[in-house]
Structure 1
C-alpha cells in the first residue's frame, strides 16, 4: 500500500474525473473556484492546462486526468478548479487541479478506508492512499495521494511555469 490509512476519522472532498469519484484530504484543499480564464503556457507539459490569477497570485492548473493517463478533461459548466496546497522541501506551493465536477465533503472512519487493490483501478495504485466506503456502502471512492501523483520534479516544473507567467498574469490583474 502506498499511503497510510488514517488512525482517526478524516474529512475528504470528493470530485469527479473521467466519470470516477476521487477524494482528497480536506486539509489540503484551500478552495474551489469556477473554471474561468486559464492562460496556456507555451512549452508546458501536456498535463499543465495553464495558469490563472488568484487574487494577484499566479497558480498553475494541472489536468489531473491527463496526469493519470486518461484523456484530457472536457470543459463543461460543472468544471472547476480545486485549489490545493502542497509542501515541497519545506516550501508551500499552491496548485489548481482541474476537476469535471465537485462531489461532496465526506467523513470517513478508519474502518471505512481500505487499501487499494493491486489491480483493477483506473489509476496506478501508488497514486492512491486507499479506497473509502462512505457510510459503509457498496460504492468506493478512490482516495488520491496528490503528493505522489505529482512528483517533486513535476511540482518544480509547475512552480517554474508560475514564475515564468507572473509577468503576463500580473498585467491581467
Structure 2
C-alpha cells in the first residue's frame, strides 16, 4: 500500500469539494437574469410589455366613453375601486384607433392609467441573452420607435414598450384637454 502525504490528501479533499459544489450551483444559462413580459399585438405589430411595470391585466372591462378631442383617450374604467383613464395603445404608438379593444393593462402606480389593446398572445419568461439593446436592432429587422426600448428575440424581434415614454406621451396629450368653461350659476332672487 502506498502512503499519501498530507498535502496530497488536502488537494484531494479540495477536488472532491469543488466537484460536489459544481452540482450545487445552477447551470450557467439559468443564472442569467430572467425577465417577464406580456406578448401583445397592436394591429399586426408584435410588442412586449415589461411585467414589472404593470400592476394589472384585465379583459372585457366596460369603458365609459368621454367627449374629448384626444383620439387616444377612450374613456374611463374601474380597477380595484379606482376610476382610471383608458388610452388606446395603438393611437399612442401612431396607429389608427382600433374598433375593438379587449385587453386593458394598468400602469403608473402613482397616477394609474390603463392602456387598451386588442390582442394578448402570451406570457414570456425571457433570459437576458434573448434581449436586444436599442443600439443593436438593425433597421431592416426592427424599426426603432420612441416608445420602445430594445427588443425580445423569440418568434422574430418583438419591440419592448418603454412605459415611461408612454406615460410622457399621455402627459403631453392630457395637457391638450382643457375643461369646458364654467357656466355661471343663476340664483333666484326673492322679491
Are positions 1:105 and 2:123 aligned together?
yes
Give the C-alpha shift of residue 123 in structure 1.
Answer: 6.4
Superposed CA deviations along residues 109-168 of structure 1, whole A, max 9, x for unmatched, are 22111134374578652211111013xxx511111102112316x337659x8xx8xxxx
- More RCO (CA 8 Å, sep 6+): 1
Return closer, same or farther for 1:50/1:25 CA change in 2, 3 Å cut-off. same
TM superposition outliers: structure 1 runs of 4+ over 2 Å: 115-126, 154-159
Q: Select the residue among 132, 145, 149 that pairs with 2:162.
A: 145
Are positions 1:82 and 2:105 aligned together?
yes
State whether residues 62 and 96 of structure 1, in contact with CA within 8 Å, keep that contact through their aligned partners in structure 2.
Answer: yes
Q: Distance in 2 between matches of 1:141 and 1:100?
A: 16
Equivalent residue of 2:112, what SS? strand
Are positions 1:43 and 2:59 aligned together?
no
TM-score by length of 2: 0.64
Q: Select the residue among 37, 40, 53 that pairs with 1:28.
A: 53
Q: Which structure dedicates a bigger proportion of its chain to strand? A: 1
Partner of 1:15 in structure 2? 40
TM-score by length of 1: 0.70
| Gapped regions of structure 2 (runs ≥ 5) | 1-31, 180-191
